[in-house]
Each structure stands twice: as C-alpha cells, then as structure tokens.
Amino acid sequence: MAAPVAPPMRSPQGTMGARRKDGGAHRAVHCGLRGSIMAAPTQRTAGWGRWLCTAAAPRPWRLFGAMCLLRLPRITQPLEKEEEEMAALMGQIELEKSHYSDHEIRKLQEEEQLRRRKESTYDDDEAPGKTVIMAQDLEDKWEQKLLQFEAAPRITDADKNNNRTSLNRKLDSNLMLLVKQKIGNQELWLLPQVEWQPGETLRSTAERAMATFLGDHIQAKILGNAPYGIYKYKFPRAIRTEDNMGAKVFFFKAFLQSSDLSQAELKEDYLWVTKDELGDYLKSEYLKKVNRFLLDL
Amino acid sequence: SKSVSPHALCSFFFLSSWLPQTVPFRGSHWQTSLLELRASLPTRAQPKKKKKVDVKREQAQKDRMKKKIKKLEKAAPEMIPIEDFIPPLKYSESNRVRSLPPLSFEETERRVLLMKKWCLFKQKQDKAEQKAIQTLVEAQQEALKELRLESEELYQAAIRRDEGLFPFERDGPNYTPPLPGYDPPEGKCVDITKVYTQ
C-alpha cells in the first residue's frame, strides 16, 4: 500500500467522518472535529500503529460500482420569456437592416401592375402569356403545404399518463435509470449497482451492473474511466465487524445511444426519472451525493 | 601501307613514259588512293568544339528556367476570394432599399431596456452553469481521493485516459421528435460551389 495519505478534512454530514483503515488499533476518530488540524496527529499515530502491527491490513470497506445511465434529450426545451422577447427583437432588427429579395421585388411589381390595371382600364393583352403564376399565389401554395404537414407532438402519450417506465416521457430533459435492489433487509430504489470483484477495474464493475439489469446488448457511451461521485455508508451495528465496516459506492456516468430497449429489460422494477423526480425515490443522503454530479437540465 | 610518298609516285610516272594510258589526277593531295572517291574527304576543317558549347548552353538555359520557377514560387500565392464577403452588385441598387416607417421613441426605449434585461439574464445563466461545473469537478475529486485511499491500482486504472471517448459525436435535439413512418420526398441536390485552386 502507498504511504498513508491525509484523509479528507471535510466530512459529509450525517455519515461518520473519514476513518483510517486501522486493522490493529481501533481509534475512533470522530469527526466532530470538522476541518480541524487536530485530526492530523491522531491519524498519523494511528498510521504508525498500523505499520507496527500487521503488514497487510484488510480493507474494511466493500466496494460497489454503480452506473448512472442517462437518456439524453430529444427535443429542445421551451424558451423562457426573456429569450422569446429577445428572439422577436432580433428578427425585427434583421428585417429593418435587410434589403428586398428577388421574390419580394417580384411581388411588389405585380401588386403595382394589378393596381394600375384596376385604376385605369388597360387591355388584357399584357396578361396572357406573361404572368400566369403570381408571387402571391406561390406564397399561398407554400402556406397550404405547410398546414398539411403534421409534426409529431412534443408532449407524448407517456407524458400524459405519467408512465414512468417508458423512455418516451419528458423528451426535453435527461432521464436516468433507477432499479429496486435488495440491500441487507431492505428493498431500496437505487442506481443499478453491483459489488466489485478483485481483478477488474471499477469501470468494468459499472458495465457489469448495467448488463445485469438491462442485458448485454446495450449501446452506452461511458464517459471516461474515472468515477463521478461516491457514496459512503456504514453498516448498521448489528453486521458491522472489524473487516466489514461499510461500503463505498462509486458512480459512473454513461449516455444511452440506442433508443429502443425492447429486448433489454430483465427486472420489472425499473424507472426512468428526471433529476427533479429523484427526490421521490431516493433517500436523502444518497440523493445529495447523486445530485452533485448531475447537471441540471 | 598507304604511306607512299605522293611525289615519288608522280615522278615515277612522268619519268617512265612508257605507260600509254592517262593517269587520273587525284582530287587533292590528301587523297592517297587513286581509286577512292571522296569518301574520306576531310571534315575536320574546324576542330569539333560544338559539343561542349551545347552542353554548357543547355545547362545555362536550364538554370535560368529553374531560377524563374523559383521566383514564381516564392511570390505569395493569390488569395482565394471568399464568396460570402463579396456582395453581388445587383443588391446595391437603390430600388432594393426597404422603406419602413422610422422608429418611435417608445420603441427605442423598449429595445434598450430589453437589451439590459437580456444582459442580466445571460449573466445569471452563465454563473449558474459555472457553479454546476465546479460542483461536478469537486465531486469527482472527492471520489478519486476516496478511491486512492482504497487501492492504488484501482486509482491508477481510473485516472488513465479513455482513448475511445473522443471524437464524440451526437445529433443535437430538434424541435419535434422524429415522426415514425415518415417518408421524405425524393429529390436531387446539385452542388454549384466554385472551387478555387492555388
């Protein structure tokens, strides 16, 4: 093991502070001393104690790799009020600064001709053979064609039914996958996670987690080898032992590439939720950690 | 051997005039044999120096050509005109100018105030984005620190660069979702952009 590094000074609220891995000397360094330098000497002596006792201290933290799978937005978000006003202003300024185009000049000339023909009685020998189609007619035709086309609706059926298992909901924001997992005795909603096994990197643990819940043929782009966040927790006193104090869950992020997962779902208890709806399902501590590495969309 | 002295021959014939036939005269004193024609007439009146001069002249010509080529190459290449920056002449005619009523005072005031509001809006948006990115980075640093405490090899595997990540391509979001079963109309696109070579 490398030389003992100073533990992080800032401790997360709620969970116990960063404890050193002392296999031998159990020194309860309670981080009520938050951010204080007084923690350092005690840590160092604990480290010395450890060096003197045993060579290889078993790590008391179990490692998990969790995957935060994001479905990226498919449509643009609606504009805010200021944005809409600004867009209108920009259009107006552009119009004022522009010159007439060919189509507009043609339209103006034809209007002029029509007016002249109405005011004074011209013979109609100019009209036939020359301008059968006028610019105004063209514009009407284009308008009709546009009205005939119907685009797909931005608010889908899944939105209206609030079907949280479908991927077609909330097309303008990120959706992430939540699964119900059994941890200890409880069934909890979590990001899919799986225990780390020695011999693989954490990224492959996360990929395995994704594969267990969604099947092998998922096209997802994992953003890099490094974890994005961490959630540490200690086991309740009943199961806590010297070798098994708690668990660290490392989160990885991935973007979903394929849009349909028809053959994928193995477990029934899964949800696709946005960042705001995470609060309905996740516990507060877990949620706090997860929220830190999710960009607000 | 042909090295019979010519004078000796001549004098021999004249001295002994018992030969009845006439003796054909030779063309010149260089013609050694009587029966030979002008096959081996001297063509070496001038010494043959033309070869060297040709070679030198050709060499000089080639060098001059190369110098000219180098000069042309050194001159800066002609700039390729950017089509977008040159407005076509037909758009600067006067009948093209739009005729609109001038802006009222209230309108200009409204515009200025809207610009200021927009400035503030964008500043707040930018600050929020920067803060979000900072929390992201901090969360990742914390995670890496914890990982290092756990095991060095996992940490090293985590900070290794991911080669397959870039180039990362993605189609951006549109205004409406794709219409299932939409058949786009057929057509051909002819590219008429002018291509310049230097």
* 8 Å CB contact of B177 and A152: yes
Higher pLDDT, B35 or A55: B35
Domain count, chain B: 1
Query: pLDDT over 90 for what percent of chain B?
Result: 30
Would residue B105 count as lying in a domain? Answer: no
Would residue B195 count as lying in a domain? Answer: no
Query: pLDDT over 90 for what percent of chain A?
Result: 16
| The pLDDT of residue A36 | 40
A109 close to B (CB below 8 A): no
Average pLDDT over residues A68-81: 90
| The pLDDT of residue B139 | 92
* pLDDT surpassing 90 at residue A260: no
Q: How confident is the model at residue B22 (pLDDT cuts 50, 70, 90)?
A: low
Of the ranges A57-61, A131-135, A182-186, which one carries the lowest mean pLDDT score?
A57-61
| The pLDDT of residue A58 | 59
| The pLDDT of residue A41 | 42
Of the ranges A84-98, B35-49, B104-118, which one carries the lowest mean pLDDT score?
B35-49
For chain A, the DSSP string reads -PPPPPPPSS--SSS-------SSS-----TTSTT-TTHHHHHHHHHHHHHHH-SSPPP-EEEEEEEEEEEPPSBPPPPPHHHHHHHHHHHHHHHHHPBPPHHHHHHHHHHHHHHHHHHTT--TTSSTTT-SS-HHHHHHHHHHHHHH--PPPSS-HHHHHT-TT-TTS-TTS-EEEEEEEEETTEEEEES-EEE--TTS-HHHHHHHHHHHHH-S---EEE--SS-SEEEEEEPPTTT--SS--EEEEEEEEEEE--S--TTT---S-EEEE-TGGGGGTS-HHHHHHHHHTS---
Per CB-CB distance under 8 Å, the chain A contacts of B146 are 8, 230, 232, 248, 250
* pLDDT surpassing 80 at residue A19: no
How far apart are the CA of A174 and the nearest CA of chain B, in angstroms?
12
Considering only the beta carbons, identify the residue of A83, A98, A248 that sits closest to B146: A248
Average pLDDT over residues A145-156: 89
Average pLDDT over residues B75-81: 80
Would residue B48 count as lying in a domain? Answer: no
Would residue B72 count as lying in a domain? Answer: no
Please, which residues bridge with residue A273 across strands? Answer: A176
* 8 Å CB contact of A229 and B139: yes
Considering only the beta carbons, identify the residue of A61, A172, A230 that sits closest to B143: A230
| The pLDDT of residue A117 | 86
pTM (2 decimals)? 0.66
| The pLDDT of residue A51 | 45
| The pLDDT of residue A44 | 44
Would residue B178 count as lying in a domain? Answer: no
| The pLDDT of residue B65 | 94
Phi, psi angles (nearest 5°) of residue A21: -90, 80
* pLDDT surpassing 50 at residue A21: no
Average pLDDT over residues B34-49: 61
Would residue B130 count as lying in a domain? Answer: yes
* Interface subset of A 215-244, CB within 8 angstroms of B: 221-230, 232
Of the ranges A215-224, B1-10, B175-184, which one carries the lowest mean pLDDT score?
B1-10
A253 close to B (CB below 8 A): no
* 8 Å CB contact of B173 and A76: yes
| The pLDDT of residue A53 | 42
| The pLDDT of residue B120 | 97
Average pLDDT over residues B125-132: 95
Q: How confident is the model at residue B49 (pLDDT cuts 50, 70, 90)?
A: low
Average pLDDT over residues B42-54: 69
* 8 Å CB contact of B139 and A201: no
Of the ranges A17-21, A63-67, A72-76, which one carries the lowest mean pLDDT score?
A17-21
Size of interface A-B (CB pairs under 8 A): 137
* pLDDT surpassing 90 at residue A86: yes
How far apart are the CA of B83 and the nearest CA of chain A, in angstroms?
18
Average pLDDT over residues A252-266: 75
Of the ranges A195-204, B107-116, B117-126, which one carries the lowest mean pLDDT score?
A195-204
* pLDDT surpassing 60 at residue B19: no
A7 close to B (CB below 8 A): yes
Would residue B14 count as lying in a domain? Answer: no
* pLDDT surpassing 90 at residue B131: yes
**What domain range includes position B130?**
123-161
Would residue B143 count as lying in a domain? Answer: yes
Average pLDDT over residues A247-273: 79
Average pLDDT over residues B49-61: 83
**What is the rounded average pLDDT for all residues in chain A?**
76
| The pLDDT of residue A8 | 41
Considering only the beta carbons, identify the residue of A75, A221, A248 that sits closest to B150: A248
